[in-house]
Structure 1
Amino acid sequence: METSFALTGKGYVIIASDTTAARSIVKMKIDEDKVKALGPHLLMAHSGEPGDTLQFAEYVERNIRLYNIRHNYSLSPSAAASWVRRSLAESLRSRHPYSVNLLLGGYDVPAKEPHLYWIDYLGTMSEVPFGAHGYGSYFALSLLDRYHNPDASLEEGIATLKRCIDEVAKRLIVSPSKYTVKVVDKDGVREIEV
């Protein structure tokens, strides 16, 4: 029943994910942060099998941090997304593949533009203006298609995100009650309240 959304706007990327950790019909935790800051200008929302998501998210975070330490240079969003996609594709061909779906967003400081990447458990990657994973995507993608504006201000982007959250709450039988929402822009990563 996991749900995550992301959208780009004029100089920012917003990523939101529910905070529920559940297995089958049992809710185990309601304060799980499924949006991980990978760097000063890089965010990743993860969903899928609980053990796989946590292990893969920490693996990605540690390797991106190691790259930054070794080279004294942060990966751009496109380079980070390509590395994550390759890591998922390699694990798919191993005996222990990760069952993880990702939304990776970041702000490319030299180019001064936001980027959002949709990555699934098969290692498929696409740069998108907006994206969603989970059961909420069945309802949110049509709203994002209708209301997304690539030149929208942050307030307009948050309003579009609220529409998605409200629609999922209205239509999904077992809808998440709380979301973690983070923004990345030229000033870095920050969490906001919706």
Structure 2
Amino acid sequence: MECVIGVVGRDFAVVAADTSAVQSILVHKTDEDKVMVLDSHKLMGASGEPGDRVQFTEYIQKNLHLYQFRNTIPLSTAATANFTRGELATALRRNPYMVNVILAGYDKDVGASMYYIDYIATLHKIDKGAFGYGSYFCLSLMDKLYHPDMTVEEAVDLVDKCIKEIRLRLVVAPQNFVIKVVDKDGAKVYARREYISDSPPDAAPATASATATEA
């Protein structure tokens, strides 16, 4: 039930993802960071099989660092997207990575940009997007509320609306999310959204007990 969300605004990009590490019906942890900082001005939000997701995102991150050490300049966001697509396409014919990616970055001459890359190496430049079951709700909200000149606060508010809808409508919904922003000042964590129940722990049993007594 993973979900990765991305939005491009006026001069920034926002990437958010749930923080659940799940196997089958078990939740192993709720603080897994699925939005990797590739370098000072790039973010990669990934969903998919946990092992593939961790290995592939780290592989891309280390190769970007290697390129910069060898050539003294970093890859642009577009070049990083094409490199990532190339690696997925190569693996597709050998041992595929079951990973879907939203890549966001900021370049001085281009500004903020975002790319959608799925596990079969499909690449698209986008202004908004989402992966996972939560995308069924997020994409419709984005179609209605998104506009290109959004401020950071407006974009994060849109992401919050998506998170609220996911928690409300998805049968087994991830509760905690991390939101990261990349702009001219670099990539950073903007906020964390942790679910806090409004009801006291014994509220549900008490209600059930009262109903049974009346019956």
TM range (shorter): over 0.9
Larger-Rg structure: 2
Q: Deviations over 1:28-78 (max 9, x none)?
A: 111100000011110000110111111101100000010011111011110
Partner of 1:14: 14
Please say if 1:45 is aligned against 2:77. no
Greater relative contact order (Cα < 8 A, sep 6+): 1
CA distance in 1, matches of 2:58, 2:100: 14
Partner of 2:157: 159
CA distance in 1, matches of 2:150, 2:97: 35
Within the candidate set 125, 130, 133, 1:132 is matched to: 130
Instruction: Please report the RMSD computed on the Cα atoms of aligned residues, expressed in angstroms.
Output: 0.7
Q: C-alpha displacement at 1:110, in angstroms?
A: 2.4
Q: Deviations over 1:136-167 (max 9, x none)?
A: 00110000111111101111111111111111
CA distance in 1, matches of 2:170, 2:88: 29
CA distance in 2, matches of 1:149, 1:37: 25
Please tell me the residue identity of whatever aligns with 1:107. Y
Please tell me the residue identity of whatever aligns with 2:154. E
Partner of 1:4: 4
| 1:56-135 to 2 correspondences below 5 Å | 56-94=56-94, 96-111=95-110, 113-135=111-133
Q: Give the structure-2-normalised TM-score.
A: 0.88
- Greater shift, 23-32 or 8-17, is seen at 23-32
Q: Give the structure-1-normalised TM-score.
A: 0.97
* Runs of 4+ with deviation above 3 angstroms: none
Percent sequence identity is 44
Unaligned stretches of 5+ in structure 1? none
* Residue-pair matches, total: 192
Q: C-alpha displacement at 1:192, in angstroms?
A: 1.2
